[in-house]
Amino acid sequence: MSNSGTPLVELKDISIAFGGIKAVDGVSVDLHPGEVVGLLGHNGAGKSTLIKCLSGAYKADSGDVFINGEKVVINNPRDARAHNIETIYQTLALADNLDAASNLFLGREIVGPGGFLDDSKMEAETRKIMGRLNPNFTKFSEPVSALSGGQRQSVAIARAVYFDAKILIMDEPTAALGPQESEMVAELIQELKKQGLGIFLIEHDIHNVMKLCDRASVMKNGQLVGTERVADVTEDDILSMIILGKNPKESS
């Protein structure tokens, strides 16, 4: 359904090396509105590194990024945010000593007259969005270090969702969560998809990939093994791509 038209994001021929080791080597992936593309591969396959080139945490050595068909340059996280790219990092990237509202608005604070922070407005907004995402969340005035893993995750998700993301990058969003909370994240992904967001999902759990993703791009040793529509392949096909680094369709 979604492979027609201009892709929302197109990463073309991205390469980045650290100290002579090619972490990502000429990888191209794309993402359409309302689509979830899974990025798979072993640890160290280069998924997170690839995605950090899009989120602005790293700058690619070569290759181009296109958003809605237009070439853009992303030098830092601010550039990425300006293009409505939001990222939920595996580490969550929260400042543990700050409360939920301060984290949610970090780098994009609401300021009142005179340029002073409007903390009560930010807290009120945080209460609104947390009421939608995680109604059980009540610890608004405590530093996020006092929160449980699931609560911290919901702060990180709220941060990505609040600012009208068009492109969402989720790096193992359920890795630290229990089954119930994972289910909540799955529902959220479905809802965001309906709203027309494009989502890159880094995921290890093959069942989640089959359930949530429209397409899956598999990486191994920094290179792209292949991209397949999830509906067209079996779990075993994808697993063999991950493990053997070969696309079973091409060999047959």
- What letter does residue 112 receive in the DSSP assignment? -
Strands (E), the chain: 9-18, 21-31, 36-40, 62-67, 70-72, 85-88, 167-171, 198-202, 215-220, 223-229
For another protein, give the closer residue by CB, 78 or 249. 78
CB burial string 228-238: b at 16+ within 10 A, e below: bebeebeeebb
In DSSP terms, 40 is beta-bridged to 218
Q: Residue 151 is encoded by which pair of tokens?
A: 């609560």
Stretch 137-156: interaction string toward another protein, x if CB under 8 A? --------------------
Tell me the closest approach of the beta carbon of residue 143 to another protein, in angstroms. 8
**Tokens, residue 129:** 């969005």
Helix (H, G, I), strand (E, B) or coil at 68: coil
117 binds another protein (CB under 8 A): yes
How many binding residues for another protein (CB under 8 A)? 30
Closer residue to another protein (CB): 34 or 143: 143
* Residue with smaller CB distance to another protein, 22 or 127: 127
Residues forming beta bridges with residue 117, ordered by sequence position: 111
Cα 216 off chain centre by: 14
| Member of 19, 73, 116, 135 binding another protein (CB under 8 A) | 116
Q: How many CA atoms lie within 13 A of 85 on its CB side?
A: 28
Residue 22, Cβ neighbours under 10 Å: how many?
16
**Residue 113 near another protein by CB under 8 A:** no
Least distance (Å) from another protein to the CB of residue 230? 29
The amino acid sitting at 219 is M
Distance CA 37, CA 200 (A): 5
User: Least distance to another protein from the beta carbon of 44, Å?
Assistant: 19
Q: How far is the CB of 88 from another protein (least distance, A)?
A: 11
- The nearer residue to another protein, 146 or 244, going by C-beta atoms, is 146
Query: What are the φ and ψ backbone dihedral angles of 245, each rounded to 5 degrees?
Result: 75, 20
Q: Is the Cβ of residue 62 or residue 145 nearer to another protein in the bound state?
A: 145
Q: Which stretch binds another protein (CB under 8 A): 111-119, 190-198, 199-207, 214-222?
A: 111-119
Ranges within 48-107 binding another protein (CB under 8 A): 55-57, 76-78, 81, 87, 89, 91-98, 102, 106-107
In the complex, minimum distance from the CB of residue 150 to another protein, in angstroms, rounded to a whole number: 18
In terms of CB distance, is 110 or 186 closer to another protein? 110
Q: Where along the sequence are the contacts to another protein (CB under 8 A)? A: 55-57, 76-78, 81, 87, 89, 91-98, 102, 106-109, 111, 115-117, 120-121, 123-124
